[in-house]
Amino acid sequence: MSKKEYSFQTNLLHNNSKVDKYTGAVSVSIQHASTFHQSDFDSFGKYDYSRSGNPTREALEEMIAELEGGARGLAFSSGMAAISTAFLLLSKGDHVLITEDVYGGTYRMITQVLSRFGVEYTFVDMTDLNQVASQIKNNTKVLYIETPSNPLLKVTDIRGIVKLAKANGCLTFLDNTFLTPALQRPLDLGVDIVLHSATKFLSGHSDVVAGLAVVKDAELGQKLYTLQNSFGAILGVQDAWLVLRGLKTLHVRIQQSSQSAEKLANYLANHPKVEETYYPGLTQHNGYSIQRHQTEGPGAVLSFRLRDEKAVRNFVNSVKIPVFAVSLGAVESILSYPAKMSHAAMPLEERLKRGITDGLLRLSVGLENPADLIADFEQAFDIVEKISPDNFQAEPIINKL
Ligand SMILES: *Cc1c(COP(=O)(O)O)cnc(C)c1O
């Protein structure tokens, strides 16, 4: 049966990797070999050396290409390895237009590394198409977007950006980590390269660091493959297997977490201690209607703003269920503090300009019962309220572990 007959949910399980051709195994075999015997002196087999190609990694690469609707998928040792390798498509003198509230590691790569190799950049508010259009230069080669963005969940009009990119001979790169192809398929909307931190929702269990890139066009895919093989930041086979296993439950995890995130967002949006809640599923969110037109749902990540750092510290030390950590997209809820975590690499002035203030917290909603999460938040807000922020000595987080 052709794969096209299946829905995304079914395709996660019934695909090319469903049954091993030689053994019938229903889980992809982990091929540890670094090198492959060539039985013919003149013509080499499909695999020769595992940096260049490995059947376990290839199973994952084929899977993500299929899920994103691309011509080619490539697996890297981390999300940053995937993103950095994609940037190697640029040459000295090229210019990249990049979303201003981009992931902190991508910000560091652009401003501290690529700049040394003569790649120019401009940060823009990608939600403002007029501003984007006005910043495109003759040497602009790439428009780089992240939607919803991190950590303010701003929604970029993907079709609008693609139109501008095509009109100006630029490629569009999109970091799809927050929604995954379960909720957003950028290649279908004209994006050229989709990038992922597979560390997050795709693997989903906080137990692997991995990155993926998917390319719409086979020729561009070949260029990126050459860069992957040249730079060498490939994903190891054990980790490729872990991502493949995580993918099997992607649909059910993201459905459940998104439903809970919506409940949490509504709760937070109506809480007097919360100054602002950022979630694209709230009707009052600026990007609500664009989000509805380009995704299957708003996802499982939200952010909210408390008064200041002191309120945040007291809240974090009082809340019991979420882990307080960097990262997102896991079975357990993860609360993080962008100012000191994901965006610590960003200078204070830049950070504040982007609205990443000292009162901002990001929550990635996991698979706990949402009623338990809300009750936990409620007791934490009560504690924050009862004690004067100036003399509150919250219990150190470590004592609760
Ligand atoms: C985590 C993350 C990255 C970086 O991925 P790593 O796997 O940590 O290298 C890039 N983009 C976004 C949106 C992320 O959340």
Domains, the chain: 3-247 (3.40.640.10), 251-391 (3.90.1150.10)
pLDDT value, residue 350: 83
Cα dist. 54→19, 217, 399 in Å? 17, 22, 44
pLDDT value, residue 401: 39
pLDDT value, residue 386: 65
Ligand 1 atom closest to Cα of 80? 9
- 205 C-alpha vs ligand 1 centroid, how far in Å? 15
- 86 C-alpha vs ligand 1 centroid, how far in Å? 14
Residue numbers of the chain with a pLDDT score lower than 70:
1-4, 385-401
SS3 359: coil
Ligand 1 atom closest to Cα of 210? 7
- Annotation says 273 is catalytic: no
pLDDT value, residue 5: 75
Q: What are phi and psi of 253, to 5 degrees?
A: -65, -45
- 25 C-alpha vs ligand 1 centroid, how far in Å? 32
The answer to whether the bond into 148 is cis (omega within 30° of 0) is yes
pLDDT value, residue 390: 53
- 360 C-alpha vs ligand 1 centroid, how far in Å? 19
Buried/exposed code over 362-385 (b: 16+ C-beta within 10 A; e: otherwise): bbbbbbbebeebbebbeebbebbe
- 37 C-alpha vs ligand 1 centroid, how far in Å? 36
Element (H, E) at 336: strand 334-336
- Predicted model pTM: 0.94
- Annotation says 253 is catalytic: no
Q: What are phi and psi of 32, to 5 degrees?
A: -80, -20
Ligand 1 atom closest to Cα of 209? 7
Q: Kindly give the residue spans of alpha helices, DSSP state H, lying in 270-369.
A: 288-294, 309-318, 348-353
List residues near ligand 1 (CB under 6 A).
78-80, 103, 105, 146, 150, 175, 177, 197, 199-200, 209, 211
- Of the candidates 57, 141, 154, 200, the residue annotated as catalytic is 200
- 321 C-alpha vs ligand 1 centroid, how far in Å? 23
Ligand 1 atom closest to Cα of 329? 15
Q: What are phi and psi of 74, to 5 degrees?
A: -135, 140
Amino acid identity of residue 214, one-letter, is: V
DSSP per position, 126-146 = TT-HHHHHHH--TTEEEEEEE
- Annotation says 51 is catalytic: yes
- Annotation says 175 is catalytic: yes
Tokens matching residue 32? 């540890």
Tokens matching residue 320? 């019991």
What is the rounded CA–CA span in Å between residue 248 and residue 398? 33
Pocket residue to mutate for ligand 1, from 200, 212, 242, 334, most atoms within 8 A of Cβ: 200
Cα dist. 22→29, 57, 58 in Å? 10, 17, 16
Element (H, E) at 228: helix 218-231
Q: Whose CA is nearest to atom 2 of ligand 1?
A: 197
SS3 185: coil
Tokens matching residue 49? 């050396």
Q: Whose CA is nearest to atom 8 of ligand 1?
A: 79
pLDDT value, residue 387: 56
- Of the candidates 101, 175, 192, 358, the residue annotated as catalytic is 175
